[in-house]
């Protein structure tokens, strides 16, 4: 609690209009919560029931649970204050002794080629794994069966992409618990408790004779933990703004860590008392050995100034996804989000090249100018922007003729190919989806050197009447969204399109055919998850489904936690060392909740 309040104080020095006394949990409850929880409605737990819950359980519900839709308008210190006011100190029970491995140390020395480290096996972010490292071939895929399931205790969302190294699985969770598991059995080697929810894919790097596993959390902290034991090495906050959110995996090169920085702030705008908006997206370079800063580059050059009553700008241009490394040109590529408030800026909704050693902007290519949007636009309308963020990483590919090309998929539903040698000049652009606030290419494409594979979200919400006391958002439309397209990288030609598979009549509420999850590829095969909870494998040659697993079910877990599967969204599956591993239960905006990590292998062996 103290560390978060300190950050709020430091941040408030830069924006005097936002300075405030420490939040009162009682005051926040009376203003934001009592109207429902003191209403006497039989559908809503009363205050007396909330006081029986642990503080960590309440905070988890506010951060990434059923109350997230309401709590996004609250600052993080307000959420922590109301959780502390209501709850019992502490968290849920620790895992049973039987859930732990006999060997409690993760062995990483002499790690071979069979690994998936961070967002992608390669720093070019192709999300492509060769047969040797994947340990899977085209013929193996129809024989994939569940090997083990691991449950995230107390969570109703599962959203972190695992890293797999030398038989160890490192994965975060909504509770902020980071797990080191044995890949063969799913038993626990060690646990580390972060301050906030961990969605980023962990990144491993050598650190002397040991290794560091590094990750960010959803309230702005970044950590380096000893990979062998889970011991904290250092903890830093790369951006002091209260609404900072770290979602994209970091990139490491020659002892330097490159961290993308985004925020919650566009959701704060539904609070009429919140001065909107002051956050600026950035990339921060830190030394792996101690977390000291090398450089920091904002995606908006100027600080926000007050433009009206409770109005500030410019703001936004967050960096949601992992940076892409280009050692040949000595640059780092990042994709940026939209502006939250006017005036619009030139590096929002853009691909930006940064010099590795200094962070200097080498060039930028904006694909959607004037995109100013925040959550209030969903209710009030009349916003100048369509909300066409880049939520996915840039891909760096080499063509057969030796020429390099950058590939970027946008929420607009358009895939771009850009020339890295001509300041991001657009070589071709192809529409693969309708696009929208939750549409187009959301979390990531994959490429195999010849083709790039783009899954489309285009999720649609049902406009149904809703109980004003029900915090849940409207459910998704079970028949609209989705689709997977293969494009020839050389010229953008559409090779094939695999249409979405609509939800059946008996599907759970929250089912949608939208394919928002990041795509993964191995030779001859493309994996794509859907909000309907299905993980499907497609033939890379013609787009036919060759394997389909419905993750929406209850599981007998190796750690004894009650767990269910749900929607597949956000970070995608990883293929490594004969296994396919994926989180199930990314429940946001009305989709299906869940709390399980699933590991598949050939015949479940």
CA distance 218 to 321: 13
- Residue 467 confidence (pLDDT) above 60: no
CATH of domain 238-390: 2.40.10.480
Percentage, residues of the chain above pLDDT 70: 90
- What Å distances lie between residue 46 and 26, 35, 55, 473, CA to CA? 15, 11, 16, 21
Q: Residues 417-432: pLDDT tens digits?
A: 999 999 999 999 999 9
Residue 10's pLDDT band (cuts 50, 70, 90): very low
- Residue 562 confidence (pLDDT) above 50: yes
Poorest-pLDDT segment among 192-206, 329-343, 372-386, 444-458: 372-386
Fold of the 123-161+392-605 domain: Lipocalin (2.40.128)
Residue 453's pLDDT band (cuts 50, 70, 90): very high
If you average pLDDT over every residue of the chain, what do you get?
Answer: 89
Structural domain spans, the chain: 2-86, 123-161+392-605, 238-390
What mean pLDDT comes out for the span 496-520?
93
User: Largest Cα–Cα distance in the chain?
Assistant: 70
Residue 17's pLDDT band (cuts 50, 70, 90): very low
User: Which candidate, 406, 279, 238, 276, places its Cα nearest to that of 335?
Assistant: 406
Contact 591, 168 (CB under 8 A): no
CA distance 28 to 273: 13
What mean pLDDT comes out for the span 538-559?
97
Residue 4's pLDDT band (cuts 50, 70, 90): very low
What mean pLDDT comes out for the span 266-285?
90
Partners of 436 in the beta sheet? none
The confidence score (pLDDT) of residue 468 equals 53
Does the pTM surpass 0.85? The reply is yes
Q: Crossing angle for the helix pair 76-86 and 55-64, nearest 10 degrees?
A: 140
- Residue 364 confidence (pLDDT) above 90: yes
The confidence score (pLDDT) of residue 271 equals 81
Q: Where are the beta strands (DSSP E) in 56-143?
A: 115-116
The confidence score (pLDDT) of residue 36 equals 78
Fold of the 2-86 domain: Cytochrome Bc1 Complex; Chain D, domain 2 (1.10.760)
- Residue 520 confidence (pLDDT) above 60: yes
Q: Residues 109-133: pLDDT tens digits?
A: 776 678 999 999 999 999 999 999 9
Contact 323, 335 (CB under 8 A): no
CA 163 from chain centre, in angstroms, equals 14
Contact 124, 395 (CB under 8 A): yes
Residue 404 token pair: 């390099």
């Amino acid at each position: 609690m103290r560390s978060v309040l300190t950050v709020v104080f430091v941040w408030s020095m830069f924006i005097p209009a936002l300075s405030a006394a420490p939040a009162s949990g009682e005051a926040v409850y009376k203003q934001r919560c009592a109207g429902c929880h003191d209403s006497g409605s039989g559908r809503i737990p009363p205050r007396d029931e909330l006081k029986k819950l642990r503080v960590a359980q309440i905070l988890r519900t506010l951060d990434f649970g059923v109350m997230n839709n309401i709590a996004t308008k609250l600052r993080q210190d307000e959420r922590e204050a109301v959780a502390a006011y209501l709850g019992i100190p502490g968290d849920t029970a620790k895992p049973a002794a039987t859930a732990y491995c006999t060997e409690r140390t993760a062995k990483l020395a002499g790690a071979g080629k069979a690994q998936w480290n961070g967002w992608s096996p390669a720093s070019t972010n192709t999300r492509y794994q060769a047969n040797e490292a994947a340990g899977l071939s085209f013929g193996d895929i129809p024989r994939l069966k569940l090997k083990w399931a691991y449950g995230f205790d107390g969570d109703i969302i599962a959203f972190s992409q695992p890293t797999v190294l030398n038989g160890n699985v490192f994965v975060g969770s909504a509770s902020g618990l980071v797990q080191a598991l044995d890949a063969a059995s799913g038993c626990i080697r060690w646990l580390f408790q972060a301050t906030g929810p961990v969605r980023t894919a962990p990144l491993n790097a050598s650190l002397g004779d040991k290794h560091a596993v590094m990750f960010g959390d959803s309230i702005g902290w970044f950590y380096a933990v000893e990979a062998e034991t889970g011991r904290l090495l250092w903890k830093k906050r790369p951006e002091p703004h209260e609404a900072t959110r770290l979602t994209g995996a970091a990139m490491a090169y020659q002892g330097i860590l490159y961290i993308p920085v985004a925020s919650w702030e566009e959701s704060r705008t539904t609070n009429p008392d919140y001065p909107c908006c002051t956050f600026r997206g950035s990339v921060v370079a830190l030394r792996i050995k101690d977390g000291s800063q090398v450089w920091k580059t904002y995606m908006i050059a100027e600080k926000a100034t007050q433009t009206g009553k409770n109005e500030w700008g410019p703001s936004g241009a967050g960096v949601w996804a992992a940076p892409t490394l280009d050692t040949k040109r000595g640059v780092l590529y990042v994709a940026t989000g939209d502006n939250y408030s006017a005036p619009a800026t030139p590096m929002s909704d853009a691909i930006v090249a940064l010099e590795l050693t200094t962070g200097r902007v080498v060039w930028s290519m904006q694909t959607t100018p004037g995109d100013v949007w925040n959550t209030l636009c969903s209710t009030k309308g009349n916003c100048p922007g369509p909300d066409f963020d880049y939520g996915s990483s840039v891909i760096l590919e080499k063509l057969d003729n030796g020429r390099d090309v950058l590939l970027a998929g946008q929420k607009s539903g358009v895939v771009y190919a850009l020339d890295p040698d001509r300041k991001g000049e657009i070589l071709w652009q192809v529409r693969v989806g309708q696009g929208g606030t939750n549409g187009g290419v959301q979390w990531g494409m994959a490429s195999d050197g010849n083709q790039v594979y783009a899954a489309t979200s285009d999720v649609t919400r049902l406009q149904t009447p809703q109980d004003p006391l029900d915090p849940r958002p409207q459910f998704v439309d079970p028949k609209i969204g989705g689709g997977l397209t293969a494009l020839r990288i050389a010229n953008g030609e559409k090779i094939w399109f695999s249409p979405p598979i609509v939800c059946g009549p008996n599907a759970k509420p929250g089912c949608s055919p939208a394919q928002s999850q990041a795509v993964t590829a191995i030779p001859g095969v493309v994996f794509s998850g859907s909000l309907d909870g299905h993980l499907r494998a497609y033939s890379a040659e013609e787009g036919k489904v060759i394997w389909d697993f419905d993750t929406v079910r209850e599981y007998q877990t190796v750690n004894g936690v009650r767990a269910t599967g749900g929607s597949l969204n956000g970070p995608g599956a990883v293929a490594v060392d004969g296994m396919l591993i994926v989180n199930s239960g990314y429940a946001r905006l009305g989709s299906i909740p869940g709390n399980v990590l699933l590991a598949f292998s050939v015949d479940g062996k």
